[in-house]
Structure 1
Amino acid sequence: MKIKKYTAASMHEAMKLIRAELGDEAVILSSKEVESGGFLGFFTKKKLEVVAAIDPMPDHKPAKRNEVRRAPAASSVQVERNIQPAERAGRSDEDLVREVNELKKLIKEIKPAQPLSEQEYPLPFQTIENQLKGQGVSRSIRAEMLGTLLNEWYKKPEQDRDPKALLNQTAEWLKKELSILPVGGLRFEKKIINIVGPTGVGKTTTIAKIAAECVLKQQKKVALITTDTYRIAAVEQLKTYAKILNIPIEVAYSIEDFKKAKDLYKHFDVILVDSAGRNFRNKLYVEELSKVMDFTEEAETLLVLALTSKYEDMKQIIAQFSLLPIKQVIFTKQDETSSYGAYINVPLEFGLGAAYITNGQNVPDDMKEATIEQLIEPVLKEAEHE
């Protein structure tokens, strides 16, 4: 591997020489601000120190996810170190030892590459970065995506770089990443559908919406089971929905009650199960759920997340429920927020698909089946008009 360290006025300048000398396959290993010049510590100038590398072997492996590849054209930059493979003939053992030690020292200094600041991106990229950051898209996702797009940007001749096309390229990158995940409504391949989540996210209303969707639009024979015996109001609310939809409901206080109810409804097409909402920080919560609910292979479990929650809280919620076999989430309360970064963060950082999005209290109207376009569009909406 060939590793070089550069000191430049900006990442833009550093990337020009990296591409000119190392080529398009170069990888940025680290970047950090350093001070140079000056006199007795005064009048120093801030510069960017960048470490880049290239594998000279033709069968090198592609970059892993989250490795940011950046590559541009040519400029005046100070080259501080150039370490090349040590296989050349005629070198003494001393030379080889010195070079290996120098390489080891450099590797120890390398830190994970940091995402560029808004000011270090070309102007069109700054617009995208500000939009994604404002929507709460995580820093690691922004860095990976913009690093990929930046690489493509500098591969093109300057006259072919179209700032107007950048937004579409951003959307296409997100579509590609989301396309490998289960995005879309329930296919009802399993009879039992468990709805879980912390308190206050709208589980009971959501389960009523799914029940109405099944009964009114898909003509399915549906039954309800609720294990939420902590809140009388929740049980009564679900019983009211069941009466309106003319479907049966059972209350399960234990796993034995749950099994009896499941056996009672064995001839139904779908059994929807409402769960108790508790404080997600309570580590015993998920264990308590398993005492009154069935999470076997014949059941499908969906996690409900409110878009009004902080993303840091969402991450804790997902961690708490990670013991359960969850493949999809339901995003609720879309109408109560203007920040939609979770639409991107949850799928790409946790590998969870999205089944539904709810945007109000009306049953069954305020719920829509999730699509990739519906996850991306709110995140990029404001940037479309800039």
Structure 2
Amino acid sequence: MRMKTYRAATSTAAFAKVKSELGDEAVILSNKTVTENGCKCCEIVAAVDNQPARPARPQQDTKEGVVDAALRDSVGWQREWSQIKGQIMALMKPQMDPARLSPKQRVALEYLEREEVDERVLTHVYCTMRETENCPVMTALDPLLKATPFTSGTWTNTFHAFAGPGGAGKTSSLVRLALRMKKERPGMRLCLATADGGRGKGRLILKHYAELSGLAFREIITREDFALLRDEARQFDMILIDLPGLSGRTTLEEWSRLYGLDECPDLSIHLVMNPYYSKGQFERFMDKYKSEQLASVIWTKLDEACTFGSILNMAFAGGLPVSALSYGPGLKNSISPATEEMIWRLMFMRRLPDGNTQP
């Protein structure tokens, strides 16, 4: 067995070093915070069975080399499945004869297509309406999208982690929900926690608003820090954790195992997304952030979006309910616990949760 110690400014960076050099089969032996040259850093000790050296990669300084490397590193079955889905949809779309629908149904289907609703969803809706005479479009759509409002009464577990790509609005969504719940229940014991390794801007925002609002604040730098937070969980009604944006090929499941989040049955993870990511980005994010603990989707920056079909696309693909809708630049009064009626009004009437109409 080969064992090596890695140090980096954050645990995410240290874990990336482990994965880059030792691969996916590496076993984490320890994960702790140490002081090096007067600065705190993360130290990970990892080990792996002896393996033959990896073959040298071809040069990537040419256009062909870059393409070859990308194709080699991608997973073959994903490419094959993508091709199969494309072929299935190509066969299905000619069968979607608009003449078999009523004028009202056709208008609804055309509207969904303009909202960039995925072809798989359109096909499902078309088949449902075709099978039932004069079937209203909402009858076909209702089973595809569910909402579980983010309130203390609905989400009764203690730990809630906010995950998603960098810039999606995880930190602001966490603060907005905390301020909203504190306003509704002044006596609620809330704790804000950051797991960005003490280096990100989000840490300062959380700490600032925790101090202003009289909320508890904790930092999670190592696995032991999260274990300590679990030990003191009885002091709080709800603990909101801001997870870092995951770089490279690190997945949410890997990060959760590293920090021990996967061992916390009282934890729900909420995926924070924007509606204007591309279809390819959504597919990558769904793969990167998949987890058994993933419980809902929070949609942010709705006032900046041009279409809202991605909300329906993700609900159809992932089966996750929507828990909150965020909009506007301010931190107060700019997030709403989601309801299905609210989402449909947003999609068909372009009406934001605050009552304003999106142009």
**Counterpart pick for 1:369 among 333, 337, 352:** 337
2:175 alignment partner in structure 1: 208
Contact 1:355 1:370 in 2 (8 A): yes
Residue of 120, 126, 139 corresponding to 1:140: 120
For residues 284 and 140 of structure 1, do their structure 2 counterparts lie closer, same or farther at Cα, with a shift above 3 Å needed? closer
2:110 aligns with: 130
Give the Cα–Cα distance (whole angstroms) in 1 for the partners of residues 252 and 313 of structure 2.
Answer: 24
Preserved CA contact (<8 Å) 1:116 1:143: no
Asked whether 1:198 is paired with 2:170, we answer no
Partner of 1:356: 324
> Is 1:318 equivalent to 2:298 in the alignment?
no
Are residue 275 (structure 1) and residue 251 (structure 2) matched?
A: no
Corresponding position: 1:184 with 2:164: no
Question: How far apart, CA to CA, are the structure 1 residues paired with 2:305 and 2:229?
Answer: 38
Query: Contact 1:225–1:261 at 8 Å: present in 2 too?
Result: no
Residues 193, 218 of structure 2: 8 Å contact kept: yes
Partner of 2:222: 254
- Structure with max Cα Rg: 1
Distance (whole Å) between structure 1 residues aligned to residue 227 and residue 238 of structure 2: 15
Give, in angstroms, the shift of residue 310 of structure 1: 1.6
For 1:315, the aligned partner's letter is E
Superposed CA offset, 1:324-374 (max 9, x none): 411211111111102111221111221110100101232231101111112
Residue 44 of structure 1 corresponds to which residue in structure 2? none
2:353 is matched with which residue? none
SS at 2:168's partner residue? coil
Q: 1:284 to 1:348 in 2, by over 3 A?
A: closer
Aligned counterpart, 2:211? 243
- Contact between 1:192 and 1:299, CA under 8 Å: does it hold in 2? yes
The 5-angstrom pairing of residues 77-226 of structure 1 reads 113-114=92-93, 116=95, 120=99, 123-153=103-133, 169-178=136-145, 181-186=146-151, 187-219=154-186, 220-226=188-194
The DSSP-based 3-state class of the residue aligned with 2:235 is: coil
Deviations 1:85-126 (A, max 9, x none): xxxxxxxxxxxxxxxxxxxxxxxxxx9543546765554443
Provide the TM-score with structure 1 as the length reference: 0.61
User: Cα–Cα, structure 1 residues 324 and 229, in superposed 2: closer, same or farther, change >3 Å?
Assistant: farther
- Residue 194 of structure 1 and its aligned partner are, at CA, apart by 1.1
SS of 2:290's equivalent? helix
Using the TM superposition, give the Cα deviation of residue 306 of structure 1 relative to its aligned residue in structure 2, in angstroms: 1.2
- Alpha carbons of structure 1 residues 116 and 376: separation in structure 2 relative to 1, 3 Å: farther
Greater Cα shift, 331-340 or 372-381: 372-381
Equivalent AA in structure 2 for residue 141 of structure 1: V
Q: Which AA in structure 1 matches 2:336? A: K
Equivalent pair of 2:198/2:221 in contact (CA under 8 Å) = no
1:342 aligns to what?
Answer: 310
| 1:182–1:327 contact (8 Å) kept in structure 2 | no
Instruction: Return the alpha-carbon distance in structure 2 between the equivalents of residues 284 and 379 of structure 1.
Output: 31
Distance 2:297 2:156 in 1: 17
Q: 1:202–1:142: structure 2 CA closer, same or farther, 3 Å change rule?
A: same
Structure 1: give runs of 5+ residues left out of the alignment.
1-110, 154-160
Change (3 A) 1:184 1:319: same
Read off the aligned partner of 2:254 and give its amino acid letter: E
In structure 1, C-alpha distance between the alignment counterparts of 2:159 and 2:219, rounded to whole Å: 15
Matches of 1:213 and 1:130 in 2, distance apart? 38
Tell me the distance in 1 between the aligned counterparts of 2:155 and 2:251. 29
Give the % identical residues. Answer: 19
**What is the DSSP-based 3-state SS (H/G/I as helix, E as strand, rest coil) of the residue aligned with 2:234?**
coil
- 2:80 maps to which residue? none
CA spacing shift, 1:293–1:140, aligned 2, 3 Å? same
Equivalenced residue count is 256
